[in-house]
Copies of this chain bind each other. A is one copy, B any other.
Amino acid sequence: MAKTPPAPLKPAKARSTATAGYRKGEETRQRILEVALKAFGDVSYKAATTRRISEAAGVSLPTLQYYFGGKEGLYRACAEAIVDRYRRRTAAAAAKAAEALNEDRAAETARVHLKAVIGALAGFLVGSREAEGWAQFVARELRDPGPAFEILYENLWRPGVSTTARLIARILGVPEGDPAARIRALLLISSALAFQSGRRIVLRTMRWSTIGGDELAMVLSALDAQIDTIGRDHAR
């Protein structure tokens, strides 16, 4: 694997160098991306094949190379697309939380925003059928770091954990960057994620047939309860 990069002959984005017209090309590119998002969500990078993707997208194999430079470029493009969609869905809650962190120092305000942020995350994860695949994509890349790890870490994990940790620190009344607050942030986020990436276990354990609105409500209620205990837990 990972043969020594034999001189990058072509940039990942072989296209879009010139006039940037030609809307038909953009449509095809988009269609391939959508199919790839699904494919890489379903199975691992290695297990997904460019042939299947090109077939499902209704184009020939070299078209993938043409638009994305190769399998790896396509994978990267998928990561960027996921980041993009995630941002659109959670930007509002994150921005409000950041604003509140600057303006209002009250612990209870932070608690409200923390619930909103986690709620937005969970809503994103359960909000669409595709999100399941995206969650798998992200979880897989986190576990087996590949070409998309940095993209996802910088744009998803870092800001997400950072905001969460700051809110928790505020609730706990400890300085920002406090290790205990960061650990709690990780615990909380991984709990939320588990309901999508650990989907199969959840379904079996809860004897659910799907994770939809009702199920999400139960999960959110449990997460909210957990958030409510932050700063109120005094061992014994």
Residues of A within 8 A of B (CB): 1, 43-44, 46-47, 136, 139-140, 142-145, 149, 153, 157-158, 161, 165, 179-180, 182-187, 190-191, 193-195, 197-198, 200-202, 204-206, 218-219, 222-226, 228-229, 232-233, 235-236
Bound together, the chains give a CA A235 to CA B197 distance in angstroms of 28
A43 / chain B contacts, CB cutoff of 8 Å: 1, 46, 144
- Do A187 and B194 form a contact, CB below 8 Å, given A44-B44, A201-B153, A232-B233? yes
A198 / chain B contacts, CB cutoff of 8 Å: 142-143, 186, 190
Bound together, the chains give a CA A228 to CA B226 distance in angstroms of 11
A165 / chain B contacts, CB cutoff of 8 Å: 205
Bound together, the chains give a CA A218 to CA B46 distance in angstroms of 36
8 Å CB contact of A46 from B44, B187, B190, B193: B44
| Extra A-B contacts (19), CB below 8 Å, given A143-B197, A157-B201 | A1-B43, A44-B46, A140-B140, A143-B200, A157-B204, A158-B204, A161-B205, A179-B206, A183-B206, A183-B219, A186-B205, A187-B194, A187-B222, A190-B191, A190-B193, A190-B194, A225-B235, A226-B226, A232-B233
